[in-house]
Structure 1
Amino acid sequence: MARPSSLFLALVLVAAMAPPMALAFDPSSLQDFCVADYTSNVFVNGMACKDPSKVTADDFTFSGFHRPSDTSNAVGSNSTLADIHVLPGLNTAAISLVRLDVAPFGLNPPHTHPRGTEMLTVVEGQLYVGFVTTAGKLHAKVISRGDAFVYPKGLVHFAFNLTPRPVWGIVGLSSQNPGLIRVADSIFGASPAVTDEVLAKAFRIDAATVQMIKAKFGN
């Protein structure tokens, strides 16, 4: 019989995986599987399939969620991602998984996934989570161990650790390649840079303030 901690983690993983399967938007497989062929030069919506005779169990296996990621950065969060780029068996499966680690008082900053709905399940700790609708309304609340929260596809969202203890969770996404756009990084750290005039007018600040913020993002 599984230990309670192992059973709890197994339930978390199942809960994280189920909604993306039901809300899949990626191309569907027309065969048992379509393991990604990383050596192929064929450009398709997704990835070309590996010869089934060369597929092994390793193509469906990912190891890495047992280790916390390094959160010693400016925002105090990091993630371990299992998507099509590291797990070839996910090709056409319309799902990816992430381990999210957030340091004490750390933030998973506002961002969006243009190709996937997200479901975050807290494994240990407590997070203040939320998203903003296209009408500008914030939906946010504090969730704790065993709680789950859904971020609708494409909407800007965040997760903030309000406590002095580290937090981690498992995230399910309804795409093998959900994409990631960090709001602040994409606006102030774009290359080539967005002009100071555009940002000053958009954020109603002066050019000097724009330049100060850009400097924090490498521009």
Structure 2
Amino acid sequence: MAAAQVLAVSILLALASSLAFASDPSPLQDFCVAIKDPKAAVLVNGKFCKNPKLAKAKDFFFSGLHKPGNTSNPVGSKVTAVNVEQIPGLNTLGISLARIDFAPYGLNPPHTHPRATEILVVLEGTLYVGFATSNPDNRLITKTLNKGDVFVFPVGLIHFQFNTGETNAVALAGLSSQNPGVITIANAVFGSKPPIRDDVLARAFRVDTKLIDNLQAQFWMDNN
């Protein structure tokens, strides 16, 4: 009887393991609307693949990350992404990279990566960084980073980086997706097209609709 129970448990564990590996792949784009006509298909959760026999070194190469990004913008930062759009060979590999340049007191505004955890290392300068945990706590976890320090931002959580110094700062970020995506909170909330109704935002933020109208009238730029 005991042997039969051990066998049954072993079979269940094997099935569970098999089902776990057979789950749907993680999404690599914001959405993928199902269609019945294959001729209308453009993307299937990412990119189509080249015949591996035709792959060349240039498919796995990017040059230029040593060049500083232009931080002459309202937030004083510039993100130079190196993802599947820049390196086609990253397709299906689940990893990408970004350089972030900061002017003095420059900010990489609160944002999320819906498909990636981020690990950041400071190359130059001092950054005040942090992220907020999910509901219901919304606990803020922050740290001041100096050259050589490393910090992790868990997938999907709102986070930011702020240059607290009077000199430029530079950081490199690794992300656990070939196409991590980015949602800059202020841009998405106040700069969406078409705009979110001001009475909706006024109630959400508990402010007057005139303040919402003023915020929606601002120029919300993208530093990516």
Q: TM-score normalised by the shorter chain: which range applies?
A: 0.7 to 0.9
Q: Which amino acid aligns with 2:187?
A: D
Matched with 2:122 is: 122
1:37 corresponding residue in structure 2: none
Secondary structure of the residue that 1:80 maps to in structure 2? strand
Aligned match of 1:212: 214
Q: CA deviation at 1:215?
A: 1.0
Alignment of 1:96-175 (within 5 A): 96-134=96-134, 135-175=137-177
Instruction: Quote the residue 1:83 is aligned against.
Output: 83
CA distance in 2, matches of 1:43, 1:213: 35
Match of 1:202 in 2: 204
CA RMSD between the two structures: 1.4
User: For residue 193 of structure 2, what is the aligned residue in structure 1?
Assistant: 191
* 1:185 counterpart SS class: helix
Which runs of no fewer than 5 residues in structure 2 stay unpaired? 1-24, 28-40
Q: Distance in 1 between matches of 2:192 and 2:125?
A: 34
Q: Give distance in 2, aligned partners of 1:106 and 1:185.
A: 17
| 1:41-82 superposed Cα distances (whole Å, 9 cap, x missing partner) | 653222111022321100000112100000011100011101
Tell me, which stretches of 5 or more residues in structure 1 are unaligned?
1-24, 28-40
Question: Match of 1:34?
Answer: none
Identity %: 51
TM-score by length of 2: 0.78
- SS, match of residue 203 in structure 2: helix
Matched letter for residue 187 of structure 1:
V
SS in 2 for 1:187: helix
In the alignment, what sits opposite 1:51? 51
TM superposition score normalised by structure 1? 0.80
Inter-partner Cα distance in structure 1 for 2:47 and 2:151:
30
Is the Cα–Cα contact under 8 Å of residues 113 and 180 in structure 1 kept in the other structure?
yes
Q: 1:26, 1:166 → 2: CA distance?
A: 36
Residues 95 and 173, structure 1, Cα contact 8 Å, conserved in 2: yes
> 1:26·1:93 contact (CA, 8 Å) conserved in 2?
no
> Residues of 2 paired with 1:124 and 1:203: CA distance?
37
What is the Cα deviation at residue 149 of structure 1? Answer: 0.4
SS at match of 1:186: helix
The aligned counterpart of 1:176 is 178
**Equivalent residue of 1:216, what SS?**
coil
In the alignment, residue 111 of structure 2 is paired with which amino acid? H
Q: Whole-Å Cα distance in 1 between the matches of residues 26 and 117 of structure 2?
A: 12
